[in-house]
């Protein structure tokens, strides 16, 4: 981006639109380019007027935007660079709009329009737009070091750092998606919290990024509250994930490894596919982003595809992260040649497939699906996902682990209950149904003013028809389909 700006300045492009939320960083970069090209730099805002960057102690001059543009058009403006902050609202004034058009037809001075968002329609045809990317790893690493040194020298307290090279690299990667100011503040908060910078500060940074994405349209930031040990079974999947945990490090790249791209989870409803996405984010120390397919579709032509592209771009900006696409088959159920939605699903599906194949951001995609019949075959091809796993109903030993986990979550000691008869009575129960069994048993015990017992749980289980019974044919069909096409997420008994 910096080189693109240099070329535009050297080629005499009169109007350049620079979209950024980091004004200070953008102005600093323009100062460096101005010095390299030996071009005087002026900065204007409605609050400060026009001030020279070389000597900011001078009094502000030319407070109105039309005066600044007239200065740029005058002979004394030849060879100068003018940065105008938030000019968009003033374009409604006829004189400002006319001066911008006049400036477009001369090559003496150049104006850089610094905007926090997209330019209005009246300006787009006049300017060459450049979007300033978020800070890269080198810039973020410099911010971490400078923030640590500043606090150490000015705080008047002992400040320490106990962090390995790999942990420091992970910390810097976790700061991706933040501006330099945001990164500096969150690092400073982590240091001031306990007077040190350590690997234990990563959760604070991840939570900061999660809050930043809290209201981001089609992307939802999910609170991660699941540990690996809380997920019963799925041993093959856990081992596969453990082998790829360090795949985003520089050491892995130097070894010749590419970062893992993602996995597709097929399986019976309620068997923990969604929990797997949370488990990956928790174990890998990454934010979890959920892409809700239902929010993508819009009645205006072209808007749905634009929403998808914006959501994917935002996910790339916040990376490294885990991107969870829940029930992916529902988003592209009509991505077939004979679809009745005017080809919208096909275009959306094509956009997603192209991005999955070509993106280079450190994003790990976890896609879940329940209905294989609605999955387009192109989605299953290698290169889009690293692996396709089938998540089946839990085996008896895993049902015992799941029951114990939900008992502990509700302040009950599993050791005080004999779970063997409960496990035998819950054949065909999914993980979600086992959780509801514990909840229903607690209601029964509360109503009877007694403590929860195994007999209560067995009675509740015998009154319940699990999904595997109600939809036996569909579950069996799913198992037959997955037997030759998917890797079992759990060990085969």
Q: What is the pLDDT of residues 29-76, one digit of tens each?
A: 999 999 999 998 999 999 989 988 765 555 557 889 999 999 888 887
pTM greater than the 0.95 cutoff:
no
pLDDT band at 215 (very low <50, low <70, confident <90, very high): very low
What pLDDT sits at residue 337?
47
Please report the pLDDT score of residue 255 as a whole number. 92
Task: Inform me whether the pLDDT recorded for 457 exceeds 90.
Answer: yes
Whether the CB-CB separation of 162 and 168 falls below 8 Å is answered with: no
Average pLDDT over residues 98-124: 78
pLDDT in the model for residue 452? 94
Mean pLDDT, range 369-380, rounded to an integer: 75
381 CB-contact burial (10 Å; exposed 0-12 / middle 13-18 / buried 19+): exposed
Which residues, listed in sequence order, are joined to residue 84 by a DSSP beta bridge?
Answer: 44, 113
Q: What residue ranges do the domains of the chain occupy? A: 2-131, 137-212, 220-391, 396-462
In angstroms, the Cα distances linking 256 to 74, 240, 248, 326 are 57, 18, 12, 31
> Which tokens sit at 85?
């902050």
- In this prediction, residue 176 carries a pLDDT of 81
CATH topology match: 137-212 vs 396-462? yes
What does pLDDT average to over the chain? 84
Q: Which CATH number fits domain 137-212: 1.20.120, 3.40.50, 1.20.1250, 1.10.8?
A: 1.10.8
The overall longest dimension of the chain from CA atoms, in Å, is 93
Q: Is the pLDDT of residue 301 over 50?
A: no
Segment of 13-17, 112-116, 269-273, 451-455 carrying the highest mean pLDDT = 451-455
Architecture in CATH of 396-462: Orthogonal Bundle (1.10)
Distances (CA, A) of 438 to 177, 268, 423, 458: 41, 20, 12, 10
| Fold assignment, 220-391 | Rossmann fold (3.40.50)
Determine the pLDDT at residue 154. Answer: 83
CATH superfamily of the 2-131 domain? P-loop containing nucleotide triphosphate hydrolases (3.40.50.300)
**250-282 pLDDT, tens per residue?**
888 889 998 899 999 998 888 888 888 888 988
Top-ranked range on mean pLDDT: pick from 78-92, 100-114, 166-180:
78-92
pLDDT tens digit string along 334-352?
Answer: 555 455 455 667 777 788 8
């Amino acid at each position: 981006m910096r080189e693109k700006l240099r070329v535009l300045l050297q080629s005499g492009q009169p109007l350049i639109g620079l979209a950024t939320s980091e004004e200070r960083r953008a102005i600093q970069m323009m100062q460096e380019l101005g010095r390299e090209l030996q071009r005087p730099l002026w900065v204007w805002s409605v609050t400060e007027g026009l001030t020279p960057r070389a000597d900011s102690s001078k009094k502000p001059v030319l407070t109105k935007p039309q005066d600044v543009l007239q200065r740029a058009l005058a002979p004394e403006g030849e060879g100068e660079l003018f940065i105008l902050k938030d000019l968009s609202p003033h374009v409604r004034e006829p004189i400002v709009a006319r001066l911008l058009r006049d400036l477009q037809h001369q090559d003496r001075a150049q104006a850089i329009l610094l905007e926090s968002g997209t330019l209005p329609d009246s300006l787009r045809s006049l300017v060459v737009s450049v979007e300033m990317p978020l800070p890269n790893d080198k810039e973020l690493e410099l911010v971490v070091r400078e923030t640590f040194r500043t606090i150490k020298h000015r705080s008047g307290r002992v400040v320490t750092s106990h962090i390995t090279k790999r942990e420091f690299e992970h910390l810097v990667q976790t700061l991706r998606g933040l501006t330099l100011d945001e990164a500096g503040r969150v690092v400073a908060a982590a240091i001031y919290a306990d007077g040190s910078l350590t690997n234990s500060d990563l959760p604070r940074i991840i939570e900061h990024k999660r809050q930043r994405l809290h209201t981001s349209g089609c992307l939802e930031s999910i609170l991660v509250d699941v540990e690996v040990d809380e997920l019963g079974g799925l041993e093959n999947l856990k081992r596969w994930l453990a082998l790829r945990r360090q795949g985003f490090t520089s050491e892995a790249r130097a070894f010749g490894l590419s970062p893992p791209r993602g996995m597709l989870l097929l399986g019976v409803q309620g068997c923990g596919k969604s929990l797997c996405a949370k488990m990956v984010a928790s174990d890998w120390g990454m934010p979890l982003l959920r892409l809700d397919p239902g929010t993508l579709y819009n009645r205006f032509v072209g808007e749905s595809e634009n929403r998808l592209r914006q959501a994917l771009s935002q996910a790339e900006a916040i990376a490294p992260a885990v991107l969870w696409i829940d029930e992916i088959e529902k988003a592209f159920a009509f991505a077939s040649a004979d679809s009745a939605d005017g080809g919208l699903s096909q275009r959306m599906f094509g956009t997603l497939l192209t991005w999955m194949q070509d993106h280079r951001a450190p994003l790990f995609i976890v896609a879940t699906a329940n209905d294989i019949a609605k999955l387009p075959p192109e989605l299953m091809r290698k290169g889009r996902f690293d692996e396709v796993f089938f998540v089946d109903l839990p085996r008896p030993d895993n049902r015992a682990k799941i029951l114990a986990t939900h008992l502990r979550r509700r302040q009950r000691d599993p050791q005080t209950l004999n779970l063997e008869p409960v496990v035998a009575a819950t054949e065909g129960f999914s993980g979600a149904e086992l959780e509801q069994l514990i909840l229903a048993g607690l209601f029964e015990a509360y109503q009877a003013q007694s403590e929860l017992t195994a007999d209560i749980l067995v009675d509740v289980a015998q009154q319940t028809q699990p999904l595997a019974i109600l939809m036996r044919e569909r579950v069996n069909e799913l198992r037959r389909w997955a037997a030759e096409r998917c890797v079992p997420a759990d060990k085969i008994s």
